[in-house]
């Protein structure tokens, strides 16, 4: 199994190499050279299996010879052992033919745990075998950082540093980053906003001396291994509702397009999916693009669903690559135009995108109203991201086809917005009820590249 870059000018890599390098050297994103296929029989055989067994069968063909069967099964077992629900990704019913896929039973209460826990264990085994050590640095507006710290804490061959904007993440998110006591995790509160954190991260990757010296590695959402981990729950949930005999649709609260792109991969592998619905908040570059063909940057407005507050959607490049018949030159050109502010998707490519994807948006008021209404009429307390999904799904779904909306975070991760909408302050699950009592450990750092690099060098003793 080989991986190629969406910009066509980077070397082909194995699964393990693509995972460890993250971004391709030509600035592109890695995708499998060919999509493995699952027959109707293969899919039917998933019925009744554990989540871990489904994960093994769905992901195995993408891994190639990077890991043996035994190693890979063991990695999967370790990745999901810490989840608070035996089904890992349980389905609940909201309305006739509308279901919610609860992806928030992992250690940090958001769907990012599905990918991050797996990638932590994959890194651990790969680095041990190679006798290498890496420094992971990530920037976060909340959920990615907590999931990364939880996944990499205490692992032998990794130091993890997470930059977050001081005073601008929710208390639960902050405490999830600052309370782990393992020596290899470092929460850094930057004097700045999320864009400053991301810019500093980018500068570190572009400082090749520093990058090589500390062996910098990235685990942001463009890492192919993260996308792959998310393909699994599309299969497990669709099979629960009768696939491959019955088609289903999915609605996905979307920011960087990683989660919904995983659904597209499931479809390309042979899972009978009817529609993949992109649900955005008021930062709706994707909805505007699907509607008009114009992919144009706009200012980001802070919302009550902050994990979807994006200016551009990094994984969308992977969907464009297929829509442009895998023409790396065409994608390079579009990304150059994006640097100048935006581009227009060609008619042919737009038509291909619309064969798979629908889109809708939810305003702040609509999101709050959906939280209140779902509590009253569906018996579910939704987080604001999941509420964006439910609102768009109710608007666009075909009543004859089962719709599965992805619930991407637990309501207790965003208690202020949920309380404002519903009058109910959601409590943390019992297994983490002492989060507010645990001691915090965090370093305040200036918004300055030299200071950050010096801090990281000192901590890892390089
Ligand atoms: C990251 C995140 C999203 C957006 O996922 P993408 O893969 O970036 O589209 C949605 N909801 C929550 C709670 C998240 O943490």
**In a domain? residue 253:** yes
Residue 322 resides in a domain: yes
- Selecting among 112, 200, 267, 413, the annotated active-site residue is 112
pLDDT given for residue 195 in this prediction: 80
112 catalytic residue (yes or no): yes
Within a domain: 160: no
Paired sense of beta strands 294-296 and 216-217, if any: unpaired
What is the extent of the structural domain holding 273? 91-107+225-422
Has residue 142 been placed in a domain?
no
Break the chain down into helix, strand, coil percent, rounded to 5. 50, 15, 35
Residues of the chain short of pLDDT 70, as ranges, are 462
Q: What is the pLDDT of residue 41?
A: 98
How many domains does one find in the chain? 1
Q: What is the CATH number of the domain that holds 334?
A: 3.40.50.1100
**Burial class, 209, CB count within 10 angstroms (exposed 0-12 / middle 13-18 / buried 19+):** exposed
pLDDT value, residue 196: 87
pTM above 0.75, yes or no: yes
Ligand 1 centroid distance, CA of 258 (Å):
8
Q: Can you tell me which residue has the tokens 């990094």?
A: 314
In terms of Cα–Cα distance, which of 241, 267, 223, 274 is closest to 393?
A: 274
Question: Ligand 1 centroid to 255 CA: how many Å?
Answer: 6
Closest approach atom of ligand 1 to CA 230 = 7
Report yes or no on 212 lying in a domain: no
15-52 per-position pLDDT tens digit: 999 998 877 878 899 999 999 999 999 999 999 999 99
Q: If we measure between CA atoms, which residue out of 369, 364, 392 comes closest to residue 260?
A: 392
CA distance 373 to 395: 14
Does residue 115 form part of some domain? Answer: no
Ligand 1 pocket, CB under 6 A: 110, 112, 143, 221, 253-259, 307-308, 385, 408-409
**Closest protein CA for atom 1 of ligand 1:** 307
Judge whether 200 lies within some domain.
no
Q: Which of 108, 111, 177 to mutate to test the pocket of ligand 1 (most atoms within 8 A of CB)?
A: 111
CA angle 148, 152, 155 (to 5 degrees): 175
Write out pLDDT tens, residues 347-402: 999 999 999 999 999 999 999 999 999 999 999 999 999 999 999 999 999 999 99
3-state class of 273 per DSSP?
Answer: strand
Distance (Å) from CA 180 to ligand 1 centroid: 23
Q: Which residue, 104, 94, 90, is CA-closest to 407?
A: 104
d(C-alpha 393, C-alpha 250), whole Å:
8
Dist. CA 261 → ligand 1 center (Å): 12
pLDDT of the residue at 24: 83
Domain assignment present for 345: yes
């Amino acid at each position: 199994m080989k991986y190629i870059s969406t910009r066509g000018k980077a070397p082909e890599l194995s699964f393990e190499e693509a995972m460890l390098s993250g971004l391709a050297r030509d600035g592109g994103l890695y995708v499998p050279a060919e999509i493995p296929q699952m027959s109707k029989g293969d899919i039917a055989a998933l019925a009744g299996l554990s989540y871990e067994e489904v994960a093994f069968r769905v992901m195995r063909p993408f891994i190639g010879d990077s890991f043996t069967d035994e190693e890979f099964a063991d990695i999967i077992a370790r990745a999901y052992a810490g989840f608070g629900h035996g089904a890992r990704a349980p389905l609940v019913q909201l309305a006739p033919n509308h279901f919610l896929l609860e992806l928030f039973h992992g250690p940090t209460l958001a769907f990012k745990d599905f990918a991050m826990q797996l990638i932590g264990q994959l890194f651990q085994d790969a680095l041990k075998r190679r006798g290498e050590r890496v420094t992971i640095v990530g920037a976060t507006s909340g959920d990615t950082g907590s999931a990364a710290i939880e996944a990499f804490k205490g692992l032998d061959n990794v130091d993890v540093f997470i930059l977050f904007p001081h005073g601008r993440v929710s208390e639960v998110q902050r405490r999830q980053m600052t309370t782990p006591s393992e020596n290899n995790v470092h929460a850094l509160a930057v004097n700045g906003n999320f864009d400053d954190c991301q810019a500093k991260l980018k500068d570190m990757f572009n400082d090749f001396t520093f990058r090589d010296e500390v062996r910098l590695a990235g685990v942001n959402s463009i890492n192919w291994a993260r996308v792959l981990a998310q393909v699994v729950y599309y299969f497990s949930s669709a099979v629960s509702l009768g696939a491959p005999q019955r088609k289903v649709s999915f609605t996905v609260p979307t920011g960087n397009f990683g989660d919904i792109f995983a659904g597209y991969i499931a479809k390309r592998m042979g899972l009978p999916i009817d529609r993949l619905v992109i649900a955005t908040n008021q930062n709706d570059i994707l909805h505007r693009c699907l509607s008009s063909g114009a992919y144009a940057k706009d200012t980001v407005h802070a919302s009550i669903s902050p994990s979807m507050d994006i200016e551009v959607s990094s994984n969308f490049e992977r969907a464009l690559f297929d829509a442009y018949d895998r023409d790396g030159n065409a994608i390079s050109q579009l990304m150059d135009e994006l640097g100048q502010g935006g581009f227009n998707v060609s008619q042919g490519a737009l038509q291909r995108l619309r064969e798979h994807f629908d889109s809708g948006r939810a305003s702040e008021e609509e999101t709050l109203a959906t939280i209140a209404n779902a509590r009253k009429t569906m018996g579910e307390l939704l987080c604001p991201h999941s509420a964006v999904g439910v609102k768009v799904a109710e608007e666009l779904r075909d009543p004859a086809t089962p719709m599965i909306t992805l619930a991407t975070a637990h309501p207790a991760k965003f208690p202020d917005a949920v309380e404002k909408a519903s009058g109910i302050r959601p409590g943390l699950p019992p297994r983490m009820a002492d989060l507010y009592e645990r001691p915090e450990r965090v370093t305040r750092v200036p918004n300055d590249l030299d200071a950050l690099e010096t801090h990281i060098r000192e901590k890892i003793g390089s």
